Structure 1
Amino acid sequence: MSKYYNPFGHIECTEYCDNKAKFIVFKDKRSKSEYRIENVSHHYLIRIKVDDCLIKEQDKIKKCDYLLLDCSYKKAFFIELKGQNLKDAIIQIKSTILELNSKLLTFSFCCRIVQSKVIKATQQQEKEELIRFLRGKYPLNIKAVKDLVLIGSQKLIEQI
């Protein structure tokens, strides 16, 4: 077995699986939110659609939009593209982590939320709540707190 594999095995939910793309873009059709990975080091990436694919609608679980697996550095990025409700975005990421963590035991976790409208007053408080949740439940999946949770407005671009 290759060291680069999809731990979920869901081919139909895998939208990209390679190390050749310079950019991986995540967009929300309903809002102006966009998350973009610039793959400057050619990491082996797996882009998985979570909402209504990896986790189906009938499961009645709140879930984030996407999961990006960086197989080169064993990082799992939980990605939520949102309008302005940060609290809902955090609930969706938490429940996705609870649902999928057993398949990601060797991955460190990173959470990415991109909102079309940011309400700064609650942003830091909500971010700290998500960090406390991750530290409490998944201490072995946390490598660097500074990279753990990023919240952006409309467009978030990150290099790996």
Structure 2
Amino acid sequence: MSCRNISSQKLFVYQEMRSKLTLENVDSIKSTSVRVDGCEINDNSIRCDFMLIAKEIEFYIELKGQDLEHALEQIKSTINRLSLNIKKGNKISYIICTRSPMSSSEIQNHKLDFRKKFNSKLEIKSSPFRDKY
């Protein structure tokens, strides 16, 4: 089984347990979906669940229950290992959770941190969540 799947499909659906993210490929462009956890990265390091590469944007996806601090570390670790350009390349990092225990000010601080360190927009959303690119 390959860790990477290249497709022009309209919908990419990522789901684990009770967390679900749907990304709509508006222009049906060629996109690379990557199973990161246990495939692209299969050592004991922390890593996010999935990655999608399309339109010169790297999308990092972590599907979580409610441990947002751990989810943030998983995405940071994955960006450091898999990103083509850690500081400059365009990125969107999604944490989809069943419940968010963080305050809005904590979330804002993390969003600023991700923008500054990784040039990544950080989206922390409740499941199910849908977005488009």
Which interval holds the TM-score relative to the shorter structure? 0.7 to 0.9
2:99 is aligned to 117
Instruction: State the TM-score, normalizing by the size of structure 1.
Output: 0.73
Stretches of 4+ aligned residues off by more than 4 angstroms: none
2:73 is aligned to 91
| Cα deviation digits, residues 110-160 of structure 1 (max 9, x gap) | 1111011112414333333333332xxxxxxx3xx6xx1111101121112
Higher strand proportion (structure 1 or 2): 2
Percent identical among aligned pairs is 29
Match of 2:3 among 5, 10, 13: 13
1:8 is aligned to none
1:24 is aligned to 12
Superposition CA RMSD, Å: 1.9
Match of 1:42 among 23, 28, 31: 28
Higher helix proportion (structure 1 or 2): 1
| Cα deviation digits, residues 44-96 of structure 1 (max 9, x gap) | 1111100010000xx221000001010xx211101100111111111000001
Structure 2's unaligned 5+ residue stretches are none
The 3-state SS of whatever aligns with 1:94 is helix
Match of 2:38 among 48, 52, 71: 52
Instruction: State the TM-score, normalizing by the size of structure 2.
Output: 0.87
- Shift in Å, 1:107: 4.4
The 3-state SS of whatever aligns with 2:39 is coil
Equivalenced residue count is: 129
1:150 is aligned to 123
Q: Which has the larger radius of gyration?
A: 1
Q: Which amino acid aligns with 1:13?
A: C
2:49 is aligned to 65
Q: Which amino acid aligns with 1:131?
A: R
